[in-house]
Structure 1
C-alpha cells in the first residue's frame, strides 16, 4: 500500500474554484485509476483555505504511473494558479506488519 498526503493552501479569493477542481478529482481519479483505493480532500476546520488531500494506492508504481500521466499534468495546470503553497509526503505500509503499540 502506498499513501500520499498533500497539504495545500488556496490563494486568497480562489478557494471555491480550488475546491471545485478537487471535488471533480474525488470522483474522477478512482474512476480513471482503479488502483487508487482512496482519494479524499478535506478542508481544515479552522482555516478554510487549507486543504488536505489523502490518497491510498495499491503500490508505489501505481501512484508513479498516475503522477506522470497527462491527466495529472492537466489537473495541475488548473490547480497551480489557485494554490499559494503545497507540501507532500509519501508512505509505504503493509498494515498487518506494523506494530500497534
Structure 2
C-alpha cells in the first residue's frame, strides 16, 4: 500500500475554489484512477482555510500514474493560485495495521 497526506492552506480568496475542486476530486479520483482505494478531503473545523487530503493507493506505481495524469495537472493549475503556502506533503510505503 502507498499512502499520501497533503495539507493545504488556502488563501481567503481561493478557499471556495479549493474546496469545490477537491470535492470533485474526492468523487472522481477513486472512481477513475486504478489503484485508488481511499481519497478523503477534510476541512479543519477550527480553521476553514486548512484542508487535508488523505489518500491510499495499491502501490506507488498507481499513485505515480495519477500524478502524471492530465487530470492531476489540471488540478494543480486550478489550485496553485488559491493557496497561501506550498502544500505540505508526506508519502509512505505502508502496511495496513488493523481490520
> Normalized against structure 2, the TM-score is what?
0.92
Aligned twin of 2:75: 75
Runs of 4+ in 1 over 6 A off after TM superposition: none
Deviations 1:30-56 (A, max 9, x none): 111031001110011111100000000
RMSD between aligned residues? 1.3
Aligned twin of 1:16: 16
Rg larger for: 1
Return 5+ residue gaps in structure 2 as ranges. none
Matches within 5 A, 1:27-46: 27-46=27-46
Q: Do structure 1's residue 84 and structure 2's residue 84 form an aligned pair?
A: yes
Distance 2:35 2:78 in 1: 24
Aligned twin of 2:3: 3
Q: Give the total of aligned pairs.
A: 97
Distance 1:34 1:70 in 2: 15
> Normalized against structure 1, the TM-score is what?
0.90
